[in-house]
Structure 1
Amino acid sequence: MKWIWRCIASLALGLGALGVLLPGLPTTPFLLLAAWAGARGWPELEQRLLRHEKYGPMIRDWRQRRAVPRRAKWLASALMTSSILMIWLLPAPMVIRWFLTLFLPCVALWLWTRPD
């Protein structure tokens, strides 16, 4: 079972690293997932993430208070809004357009109800 948790943590960490380089791919949720999986099968990785200068405080805030930094909320909201606009400007199936148009504002609303 330990190897499954390590695979999940590694995959999430890799996606988080890609998120640093690729606009539109979030970093923090993948690091939260990596820390969560690491706690179950790779405690050294979890501790390294918790001690990280930039991402450690965000992971600890999420664990302790389910808090999301205001800057992250604004950035996520802007990216979701741009996604909705882009999906309507580019050729896409109508079901996807409507799904994103209804789903992403719900995500943003949930996000803004989290503490800062």
Structure 2
Amino acid sequence: MRIIWLIFGLISLGLGLIGVVLPLLPTVPFMLLAAFCFARSSDRMHNWLLTHKVFGPMIEDWNRSGAISPTAKKAATLSIVLVFGISLILDVKTTVLVIQAVVLSAVLFFIWSRPNA
């Protein structure tokens, strides 16, 4: 079973790293999932992720109090606005825009309703 958790952890880590540069993919949820999976499969990977200079503090804040830093909130908001703006520029169908607006609004509400780290 450990190998399955490790595989899921590595996939989550990879998706999180892609999310750093691709605004469509959220980074922090994938890093949280990777930490969860590594806690069940690899002490070495789990410790590496928790002590990582960039991702470690985000994971610790979330584990401690479900908090997201104001910087991460602003970066997420900017990414969401950028993605929606690209959809507008590309003249995406109205139905897709409405669905996107509802989902992205819910994501923003969730992010900004979390306590500050």
Shorter-chain TM-score bucket reads 0.7 to 0.9
Q: Distance in 2 between matches of 1:47 and 1:54?
A: 14
TM (norm. structure 1) is 0.87
More off after superposition, 1-10 vs 40-49: 40-49
1:15 aligned residue: 15
Q: Which amino acid aligns with 1:31?
A: M
User: Identity over aligned residues, as a percent?
Assistant: 34
1:33 aligns with 2:33: yes
- Scaled by the length of structure 2, the TM-score of the pair is 0.87
Larger RCO: Structure 1 or Structure 2 (Cα < 8 Å, ≥ 6 residues apart)? Answer: 2
Aligned residue pairs total 115
Residues 32-70 of structure 1, C-alpha deviation per residue, up to 9 Å, x if partnerless? 111011112222211111112222111111011011010
Is residue 84 of structure 1 aligned with residue 84 of structure 2? Answer: yes
Instruction: State the shift of 1:29 in Å.
Output: 2.3
RMSD: 1.6
Gaps of 5+ in 2: none
Q: Report what 2:47 is aligned to.
A: 47
Report the Cα distance in structure 2 between the residues aligned to 1:26 and 1:107, rounded to whole angstroms. 10
Match of 1:102 in 2: 102
Letter paired with 2:111: L
Which consecutive segments of 4 or more residues in structure 1 shift more than 3 A?
A: none
Deviates more, 1:25-34 or 1:8-17: 25-34
Alignment of 1:70 with 2:78, yes or no, is no
1:16, distance to aligned residue in structure 2 (A): 2.3
Residue 8 of structure 1 deviates from its aligned partner by 0.6
